[in-house]
Chain A
């Protein structure tokens, strides 16, 4: 059963075809990795699905409902959340508030003006829960701008995750973080996917991480799909090896 699919999705920047007629299918409950060299169109695809960009043509369907022309807010309400390759946080606010805002927003509580944010026990409990899951409990009070790079990356994913999406799009969640933190991010994401709550699409360059966590790997090259399969199938695919390593493998 597919959660989301695109039909002949196209996006062009000048002469560059970043998405060249993509028919992309995301199955419910899978952990899908998008791989490919820089400029392959991975981020563009995620930007299109999350409404950060509008496609030139084509359709995006969420459970067969056309969402091509819906706004960012509508897509989030429909259960599509994303994190960013370059960390995007509320630097003046604490780590706690960064996550709490997602919870407030999801519950439609950001309109409340006559009530102190810190007095909402449900939101507080859930926020501390999420921070704990991402190993950030001890940093709750620190301004996001003061956190170390790895922690900021974790928090960036936590902010998206706290929206409790059905589809979680992560753009290079492990770039620039330590091996230990990589495992923390990926373990957390994969555990919620295994719990059947979330479907995850992850853009990732670290092939060790990709092969270890993915149910399915989709390889992009110059705006098109080059390969699509399980980690074992991809490992055996010669084209993939050529692209990834830049040279043909000699068996």
Chain B
């Protein structure tokens, strides 16, 4: 469980968590110096997937709602950037974020308001249905969205035009700079989410997840909490979509399709949805897994399917869950000997 809060041990444990976080951050910061451009690109995709899954898991892991339509928010983020490029001619990443974040937040608020009227499978089906509506619109309204060809997004400038990537080495420079840009936003997202799930609001979400009836009888307005959780969750996933599109250079209706929602669910399961770090590890692991599966075999979906089934049977708590259990086991052994 991620949610155990012993007061005294928590205060001792906090520096250890912070220390581990700083170590991982340093490692992430130096990795590009040692690796090929392609690996840097992959890792950037991994961090973006981690942000998407982190948002998704606020609903699944902390509120107990399985969304099967988070592609909608990722896709709205991506398409907002593409449309801003096409119609407003903006080229700065900050402008994309500044316009994109309110758009995904409003979209999440509207869709969330509809979806949180139900729970369990009904909630899942509603989220799925709404995301499929967006997929159809992106496909059919080709004069706006480019249909199945999608919309191109050129390399943006970073830091209000301070970094420009139009030269001959523009692409390499962009990939390496963009990695740090995404890493920065990733850190902000992780810290924000960590604070949210450890705030009174986050605790209330977990209470609702554990026991809806009792949550009501300590005075929590359940639907309102679920709605706000949905809004935050969708916005995080939308930010991932905003960050993803300049790196990919193109957005197509696939990012709105339900299989992409499935990938987000897969990501959270892979890392472990009962752990805060689960979706982060899952996002990076899934990106590599999928990339190498696609490179290895034509039947990569089959390969991923096998991984998913194995995961559910052998590691129901995901990678992070298994590691933390192993850690506890070794800890006990050491304590005994």
Contacts and interface: CB of A to CB of B under 8 A. Distances in A.
Interface string B279-322: 00000000000000000000000000000000000000000000
Given A76-B219, A91-B211, A112 B195 contact: no
Contact of A73 (B201, B209, B219): B219
A77 B215 CA distance: 14
B199 A94 contact: no
A117 B198 contact: yes
Given A104-B200, A141-B5, A114 B195 contact: yes
B325 interface: no
Contacts of B9: 141
A81 B106 CA distance: 36
A128 B4 CA distance: 16
Contacts of A73: 216, 219-221
Contacts of A140: 6-7
Contacts of A92: 1, 3, 206, 209-210
A94 B232 CA distance: 25
A140 B11 CA distance: 14
B207 A93 contact: yes
Interface string A51-93: 0100000000000000000001100110001101000111111
Contacts of B206: 90, 92-93, 97
A1 interface: no
B233 to A, nearest CB: 13
A97 B5 contact: yes
B273 to A, nearest CB: 12
A111 B218 CA distance: 14
B204 A105 contact: yes
B219 A120 contact: no
A97 B258 CA distance: 37
A110 interface: yes
A106 B5 contact: no
B203 A104 contact: yes
A194 interface: no
A134 to B, nearest CB: 16
A162 B262 CA distance: 42
Contacts of A118: 5, 7, 10-11, 198
A23 B215 CA distance: 30
Listed from nearest, the 6 A-B pairs whose CB atoms lie closest are: A141-B6, A76-B219, A90-B210, A88-B214, A110-B204, A113-B201
B143 interface: no
Interface string A130-164: 00000000001111000000000000000110010
B3 A72 contact: no
A101 B199 contact: no
B207 A90 contact: yes
Contacts of A50: 217
B54 to A, nearest CB: 15
A164 to B, nearest CB: 11
A15 B223 CA distance: 34
Nearest to A82: B217
B216 A93 contact: no
A88 B217 CA distance: 10
B213 interface: yes
A115 B198 CA distance: 8
Nearest to A109: B200
A106 B220 CA distance: 9
A190 interface: no
24 contacts: A52-B217, A73-B221, A77-B219, A82-B217, A89-B211, A90-B211, A90-B215, A92-B210, A93-B203, A93-B207, A96-B6, A97-B5, A100-B203, A101-B200, A101-B220, A104-B200, A104-B203, A112-B199, A114-B195, A117-B203, A118-B7, A118-B10, A141-B7, A159-B218
Given A91-B210, A117-B198, 4 more contacts: A73-B216, A76-B219, A90-B206, A124-B7
B4 to A, nearest CB: 5
A31 to B, nearest CB: 21
Q: Which among B5, B215, B232 has the greatest number of chain A C-beta atoms within 10 A? A: B5
A84 B1 CA distance: 25
B218 A101 contact: yes
Contacts of A43: none
A236 interface: no
Contacts of A76: 217-219
Interface string B171-204: 0000000000000000000000001101111111
A98 B27 CA distance: 38
A33 interface: no
B217 A101 contact: no
Contacts of A114: 195-196, 199
Given A73-B216, A106-B219, A101 B203 contact: yes
A214 B3 CA distance: 39
A245 interface: no
Nearest to A81: B217
